[in-house]
Amino acid sequence: MKYIDGGVCAAQGFMAGGVACGIKKSGKLDLALVYSEVPAQAAAVFTTNRVKAAPVQLSMKHIKSGIAQAIIANSGNANACVGPQGDAAALAMCQAAAEYLKVPVESVLVASTGVIGVQLPVEKIEDTLKKTPGIVSRGGNLSAAQAIMTTDTFKKEAAVEIELAGSVVRIGGMAKGSGMIHPNMATMLGFVTTDAAIDQALLQQAVKRAADISFNRVTVDGDTSTNDSLFVLANGKAGNTKICAEGPEYDAFCAGLEAVCLELAKMLARDGEGATKLVEIRVEGANSEAAAVQVGKTIATSSLVKTAIFGEDANWGRILAAAGYSGVAIQPELVDIYLGDLLVCSGGTGLVFDEEKAKAILSKKEITIIVKLGQGNASAAVWTCDLTYDYVKINGSYRT
């Protein structure tokens, strides 16, 4: 597997692009299009929030056929909790994209991200698409990735190249994150394209697993969004023998898909609102992978752990306390905790450790916390960021 450039345009037969419609008052890019030259096998996972934005509901309907050819996504407005007008706006977005790209309206997936509860000025999208030729291109992945950003501070793209029985297959994607990030099925928005030829049912299975071990293991603030959507389009342009069953080629495809999703997911944590540090929490010695994830996510969501990391304070007691209330029946007397490679707690009891070394470890931009539960052989990693003044600042005045 080789990491490559190109994001959602890395795979053959895909084009993309971003444009400014005026939804964002700043005049920044706020509309992205992704287009496949041919109809693609499509799979998706969506937010488990009972409150689902209008575009989520419409995309759930459109994905049922297992085929998609385009994605339209806006930032600056979530098109959520705005009643029937929201449903009409989501449909109008799909129609505008369908006309622009000359594809059937049912083959367009739609996503929105931004403020909740404000009517989307969909006419701005319609007008812009009517007036602006050539939005999508083979090199448009950069502007597309930019157009889905809200409070993100950098674009989130990743792509890999894999070989499947002699054919070169590419898998690339983009995502947006920042706040309200505690995905429970998918991230805020993640779009992945591949030129692999693969059966739709297998693709859906691969996407579910990839989301579970990447986006679903990231948290910024414990808030699960109303708009989380991960779309994967596979257009078969690589010319590989179509993957129609599990086996080595399916596994290789899954490994590539997981690598792209994991890169994007870690970028979400690194770029969490106000974040200054990326924190990986590895839980080992659990009785099951689910238990390891549960302990890890509880630690990753703890405001006390996250502020201590911001303050570069080796307050491991908060890590152990979070493990203790995770709902998993841990045995405190078996737990070891490492900050980086520094053992700070052994058998549930604090050690006298080198505070200078701890400070040096915590002053880095990337921090690994290892929690060994001592109960079994399962393990999992989750990712989070620190909780900072800027998180409070950004979210104290998001609408204004």
Q: What are the residue numbers of the active site?
A: 187
Least Cβ distance, residue 313 to a second copy (angstroms): 5
Rounded CA gap, 189 and 348, in Å? 39
Closer residue to a second copy (CB): 164 or 300: 300
The per-type count for the chain, helices as H runs and strands as E runs, is 11, 15
Which residues partner with 169 through β-bridges? Answer: 162
Residue 142 C-beta: closest distance to a second copy, Å: 29
Q: How far is the CB of 249 from a second copy (least distance, A)?
A: 37
Q: Shortest approach of a second copy to residue 215 CB, angstroms?
A: 15
On whether the CB atoms of residues 40 and 171 are closer than 8 A, the answer is no
Structure token digits, residue 289: 């992978």
Q: Which lies closer to a second copy via its Cβ, residue 12 or residue 151?
A: 151
Nearer to a second copy by C-beta: 39 or 348? Answer: 348
- Rounded CA separation 60/192 (Å): 17
Which residue lies nearer to a second copy by CB, 222 or 376?
222
Q: Determine the residue type at 267.
A: M
Alpha-carbon span 301 to 220, nearest angstrom: 7
Query: Roughly how many angstroms between the first and final C-alpha of the chain, as a whole number?
Result: 45
Tokens linked to 39: 């109809």
Distance between CA 395 and CA 115 in Å, rounded? 11
- Cα–Cα distance, 194 to 191 (Å, whole number): 10
- Greatest Cα pair distance in the chain: 67
Shortest spacing between CB 358 and a second copy, in angstroms: 11
3-state secondary structure at position 318: helix
Contact 43, 80 (CB under 8 A): no
- DSSP per-residue string spanning 334-390: G-EEEETTEEEEETTEE----HHHHHHHHTSSEEEEEEE-SS-SEEEEEEEE---HH
Closest approach of Cβ 397 to a second copy, in Å? 5
Nearer Cβ to a second copy, position 132 or 184? 184
Q: Which is nearer to a second copy, 171 or 220 (CB)?
A: 220
Quote the least distance from Cβ 121 to a second copy, whole Å: 15
Residue closer to a second copy by CB (options 253, 316) is 316
Query: Residue numbers of the site for a second copy (CB under 8 A)?
Result: 48-52, 78, 80-83, 115-118, 179-180, 182, 184, 221-226, 301-304, 307-308, 310-311, 313-318, 320-325, 328-332, 345, 347-350, 387-389, 391-400
Burial of 393 (0-12, 13-18, 19+ CB in 10 A): exposed
- Name residue 36's beta-bridge partners: 14
